Amino acid sequence: MTQFSEFTDLCIQIESIPGSLEMTDVFAEFLKNIDDDELAVSCYMVMGEIFPAWTGKKLGLGPNLLFSALSKAAGISLDQIKALLRETGDIGETTYRALCADKKSQSTFSSFFDTEDGGDGSCSAGGRLSIREVYDRLKEIADASGKGAQSQKIKSLQYLFSESSPIESKYISRIALEELRIGIGEGIVRDSIAKAFDVPVAQVEFAFMVTNDLGEVAAASKKGGVDALSHQHIQVNRPVKMMLAQVTNSIEGAFAELNEAAIEWKFDGARLQIHKNGNDISLFTRRLENVTNSMPDVVKAVLEAVTAENAVLDGEAVAIDESGKPRPFQDILRRFRRKYDVENTSRDIPISVKLFDLLYVDGVSYIEKPLIERRKKLSEIIKPGANGISVDDLEITNDPEVAAEIYRQAIAAGHEGIMIKNPNSPYSPGKRGKNWLKKKPVMDTLDLVVIGGEWGSGKRKNKIGSYVLACYDNVKNVYLEIGRVGTGLSDELLDALTEQFSELIEVENGVTLKIKPEVVFEIAFEEIQKSPNYPAGYALRFPRLISVREDKTIEEIDTLEKIERMYQGQKE
């Protein structure tokens, strides 16, 4: 049994390491020395998670619940906690200071923190909890529901704070709000598993792609090595990350990369992964959220159209009007989010599903097979002429002019452009690369996460009037501010966004807000410029909000690397 204090020591050590290779070595050594039933949970928690993404489960803790638990555990007021948070800007450091303050009289509260532990070593002593006990208690919090659930969550958090040392509680609170952010992501965990159990990184990567669960992969690596990893496979009703496309600036440039290409429309809709297990149908969004209950018309269409007993399919859900033209993207989100009056909404916003790929059929995984073979099998298992669902048109050509004509047709039909794919490429879950390219008619927008904001003034008083945007540096594993957006937002939209962000405000300092990185904005702009004023080193000229990308997670926001590439493309 490994004490949580050892996990805390690991986090402290990793936070002080600048390079990913050394982080990998440290976490690999940790994995070698913990019990089997601690492997999976340690992999989740070191990334600031409790559940693997495919489960769709969330801890469901907001800052206010954590503040209440911390107030009770530390014996200080909510106002004092919020004052600390304004000072530190970090929920972990706030938790540490609040619990250390409990060891001193309240009269010394504001001046207590001259040293790391208050001068007596009491704030860094180990607690009594194991890794597994912390995980199980957090899982209980996630499972709490119904009457009295909030009270139970507060009591469980209070218990964790009282049974752990302040330094341990610092990391418990960060995990509870999914804000651990010590610099470890999927790549480092993957490499650590490979190093710890002497298995090839490629084998770990493949097992992760098909299971979408690094904890499970770690357990398999330790138990059976390469042989166990080779037996990992796609499972129906367990969603996997969807393959992604890279932007191309020109059709000619794409053909220079691919020579021969498979061309299809890029639909103006939202990705939908369909799982069929007999008569049991499950539908998942790009964020792996289960939207089956919101889409009864799609479930019916799948049952009628798909002849295979078991299958995992990839496609696009498109909201259509009476003439068959695509409706606004927000209408798709309305369908995904709908929990009540679903039948009427289905009639008001009909959905057409365009299938374009296949991952699994009747016991056979197709992700390693070439695109042309996957498409052939896809066409074989879909009844032609089915209502509401079809296989989209695909044309293989080596002529850029043919692709350009398909592009013009897609734009005229109201869609976004075209996809240009390598016909011999495998399906790579969660990967973005040159095997799939997308071409749109205007400079590509950026998907950026909101990390802050400012309260408005005048008629915008009590509304968040502007938002701080960040890209992701996947080398340093940090969010980097790249600009702000605020102009052109209607009062109605500002009201809706203010309500949406109200539970995500972490620090409020006057009019300035620090916001938990969770919501993704699609931002259009005229130009990327070099700028020393933002940590990213770049700024966006005339940024404007296109949409709130509720179909995207913060793991999918655009990277500093992409922005640098787009900047170079502008110059060229």
Alpha carbon distance 152, 326 (integer Å): 46
455 burial (CB, 10 Å; 0-12 / 13-18 / 19+) is middle
Question: Can you list the positions of beta strands (E) in 210-306?
Answer: 244-247, 261-266, 270-277, 280-284
| Among 153, 170, 266, 514, the one annotated catalytic | 266
Q: Which 3 state secondary structure label does DSSP give 272?
A: strand
The Cα 22–Cα 10 span in angstroms is 12
Tell me if residue 516 is catalytic. no
User: The tokens of 55 are what?
Assistant: 């489960």
Return d(Cα 559, Cα 538) in angstroms, integer: 12
Q: DSSP letters of 379-412?
A: HHTB-TT-TTEEEPP-EEES-HHHHHHHHHHHHH
Specify whether the CB–CB gap between 429 and 209 falls below 8 A: yes
In angstroms, the CA 298 to CA 300 distance is: 5
Q: Single out the residue of 10, 488, 559, 140 nearest to residue 497, CA to CA.
A: 488
Nearest 5°: the CA angle 209, 212, 218 is 90
Which residue, among 277, 342, 261, has the nearest Cα to 313 in the 3D structure?
Answer: 277
> Cα separation of 214 and 44, whole Å?
8
Q: Which is nearest to 216 in space by CA: 48, 13, 255, 224?
A: 224
Query: What stretches of 381-490 show up as alpha helix (H) in DSSP?
Result: 400-412
Sort strands 351-361 and 389-391 into parallel, antiparallel or unpaired: parallel
Q: Looking at the annotation, which residues are catalytic?
A: 266
